Structure 1
Amino acid sequence: MSRTSPHQHHQHHPTGELSRRGLLKTAGGLTAAVALGAASAVTTAVVAPTADAAPATFTHPGMLHNAGDINRAKVRVAAGTDPWLSGWNRLTANSHSQSTWAPRPTATIIRGGDGQNYPQLYNDIHAAYQNALRWHVGGTAANGDCAVRILNAWSSTLTSITGNADRFLAAGIYGWQFANVAELMRGYAGFDLNRFKTMMLNVFYPLNNQFLTGHNDACITNYWANWDLCNMASIMAIGILCDDGAKYDQAVNYFKNGGGNGQIRRAVPFLYPGVEGYDLGQWQESGRDQGHTVMGMGQMGALCEMAWNQGEDLYSYDGRRFMKAAQYVAKYNLNMNVPYTTYTWGSGQNCAQQSQTVIGSGSRGQVRPVWAMLHYHYGRRLLLDDKYIAQMCFSVAPEGGGGDYGTTSGGFDQLGFGTLMYAK
């Protein structure tokens, strides 16, 4: 089996999930497979001294959507089958998905502080993404042309991202999102892929890398998990887009062994096995509020989905630790009780200790389009009992995207349309 084997070969192991990359490497005689513990285990540490090597050949398209995802959506929508058709109707009704969208590129994007203009960027990215989906699924050239028009406009104009510390959020969130659109449009007539890659390498990556290595000169635990995660996802997406194995490995390595809160064991610091029959994991931002906690499901989900499409199973890493967190977050946001352990961390530049003693109820139940990706992975690809994730997924279906969840940045933290693109 090659490293880029189709996912149909992935097998579910009821008593222990083999790591996806481990399975592939074993077949190639490169390394022994590492067995992850059963779902009921408190934790099964699987920490290699270095990350697995990037794939010898990157799969394209191979970020949030692979060729199979795209073809399935295309066939199901053409046949008028739900839930794909409902997801498609949600897409075509969105104002961002119209082929008449006019981009508003600018040389400098500012997030945080004076002169903020970053909504120009996130609105255009989501318009490009939605038009790219309409072209792939519906086959309309006008939408493909629009997506490319937006990509080319920004790659010929944007030279810097600045502002206060929030500039790192902009570089991270909009970095992985923009790279995903480019991945969908690579090979499209008129798309200047090389110029777009140059923009990603020169404008986005330096800030992504600067944040993960220096954390804005703050205590390494000062910033919430989402800050690390969006920058990790951007580095991974840039690595895939540019066929750059070192960058891809940088993101995977940080997920497994990084020092900040995006590293999987820091992002999910406490585990609760067998709570009413289900394993739960407390999310790092759970004591903060639920809007940012659900955002974390989308940021880590995007990272795991992109890795999956390149043959790396971060979804199941460390005894499926992320699944336990998603179950926990979904359960609480379905208005059920979950356990909570006091969370203490070092803040500021001198690592002054702060603690959260109770779970944060702010924004509880907030809807973000992050759950379809998680349910259709754990519940349908792996055939696991993901009770709370599944309930959350279907309670908010069909998922929309940017423009459907308010006009502020939180409604654009994830690309959405998971019902259309992930339903199985």
Structure 2
Amino acid sequence: MLRTVYLPKVIGGSNSNGNWELVMMEAATGISVFLDDRADYDKAIAKFRGRVPAYVYLESDGSLPKTAPGSGLDTRDKIIKYWQGQSTFVTGLTQETCRDFTHTGYGIASIAHVAETSRIQGQDLYPEVGERLQQALGFQSKYELGEAPPSWLCGGSVKRGLGPITEVGYNALHNRLGIAMANTQKLTERQRPAGTNSLFLGWETLTHGDNPS
């Protein structure tokens, strides 16, 4: 059933809001590992590698965010509309920050989950996606902790509710790789023990809290 029903539904990805494709590639990666299917694993990772830079902005990307292959976002106006009308881009902003933090959290969680799964499989994606994961966690954590957003960010108002999504990325980047992450650390420790979002992650303090191995 995983091979014939579920995998075909997720392996193709989506051009909807970015958390869709990230969650779909998390599912596709996990299924492919379980099935020992290298071809579909490689396909999922390739799509993941195209989506992550299109989901989390870094200043080094230039004046506009990157776009995922095949997205059709080929003008500034289309990109801004896709980024929820946000026209000022700063490091750590995600494509869904100005939608709400809950869906943003789904995307960030899946970035961390795929990176961890690939690491267990012997493929280290952290040199490629680690900075985006770090910056996304830090940026969202700052406002989730209560800092008032500036007027240029989402019209001066954000919808908080990031969820229990920080443990895996924080553990990998801070505890294993030694990266300072003050805002993410504060939020992670405040939320412990992390519960579940009743969808696809849960109890990650138990599985990843201060566990760098």
Please report the TM-score for the alignment, with normalisation by the length of structure 1: 0.40
Q: Quickly say closer, same or farther: Cα 1:271–1:326, change in 2 above 3 A.
A: farther
CA contact (8 A) 1:331 1:338 kept: no
Amino acid at match of 1:393: T
The match for 1:399 is 194
Q: Distance in 2 between matches of 1:319 and 1:233?
A: 16
The match for 1:416 is 202
CA contact (8 A) 1:270 1:341 kept: no
> Percent sequence identity over matched residues?
26
CA offsets 1:304-355 (integer angstroms, 9 cap, x no match): 221121122223315622211111111111112567878xxxxxxxxxxxxx
CA offsets 1:256-301 (integer angstroms, 9 cap, x no match): 23xxxxx1111013438xxxxxx94111101111111122222222
The match for 2:22 is 229
Are 2:49 and 1:252 aligned? no
Q: Distance in 2 between matches of 1:332 and 1:247?
A: 37
User: 1:414 offset after TM fit, Å?
Assistant: 3.1
The match for 2:54 is 266
Q: Distance in 1 between matches of 2:106 and 2:130?
A: 22
Q: Quickly say closer, same or farther: Cα 1:399–1:268, change in 2 above 3 A.
A: same
Q: Quickly say closer, same or farther: Cα 1:339–1:315, change in 2 above 3 A.
A: farther
SS in 1 for 2:122: coil
Give the unaligned 5+ runs of structure 1: 1-198, 258-262, 273-278, 343-356, 402-410
The match for 2:79 is none
The match for 1:207 is 9
Amino acid at match of 2:124: D
Q: How does 1:350-369 map to 2 (within 5 A)?
A: 358=155, 361-362=158-159, 364=160, 366=161, 368-369=163-164
Q: Quickly say closer, same or farther: Cα 1:339–1:204, change in 2 above 3 A.
A: farther
Please report the TM-score for the alignment, with normalisation by the length of structure 2: 0.76
Q: How does 1:295-314 map to 2 (within 5 A)?
A: 295-314=106-125
Q: Quickly say closer, same or farther: Cα 1:321–1:368, change in 2 above 3 A.
A: same
Structure with a larger share of its residues in helix: 2
Larger Rg: 1
User: 1:395 offset after TM fit, Å?
Assistant: 0.6
Q: Distance in 2 between matches of 1:310 and 1:340?
A: 44
Question: Over aligned residues, Cα RMSD in angstroms?
Answer: 2.5
Q: Quickly say closer, same or farther: Cα 1:255–1:336, change in 2 above 3 A.
A: same
Q: Distance in 1 between matches of 2:149 and 2:180?
A: 18
Give the unaligned 5+ runs of structure 2: 61-89
Q: Quickly say closer, same or farther: Cα 1:301–1:253, change in 2 above 3 A.
A: same
CA contact (8 A) 2:168 2:208 kept: yes
Are 2:167 and 1:372 aligned? yes
Q: Distance in 2 between matches of 1:231 and 1:293?
A: 14
SS in 2 for 1:286: coil
CA contact (8 A) 2:57 2:94 kept: yes
CA offsets 1:156-202 (integer angstroms, 9 cap, x no match): xxxxxxxxxxxxxxxxxxxxxxxxxxxxxxxxxxxxxxxxxxx1111
User: 1:358 offset after TM fit, Å?
Assistant: 3.1
Q: Quickly say closer, same or farther: Cα 1:367–1:327, change in 2 above 3 A.
A: closer
Q: Distance in 1 between matches of 2:125 and 2:152?
A: 25
The match for 1:108 is none
Q: How does 1:158-169 map to 2 (within 5 A)?
A: none
Q: Quickly say closer, same or farther: Cα 1:318–1:378, change in 2 above 3 A.
A: closer
SS in 2 for 1:413: coil
CA contact (8 A) 1:286 1:359 kept: no
CA offsets 1:47-100 (integer angstroms, 9 cap, x no match): xxxxxxxxxxxxxxxxxxxxxxxxxxxxxxxxxxxxxxxxxxxxxxxxxxxxxx
Total equivalences in the alignment: 182
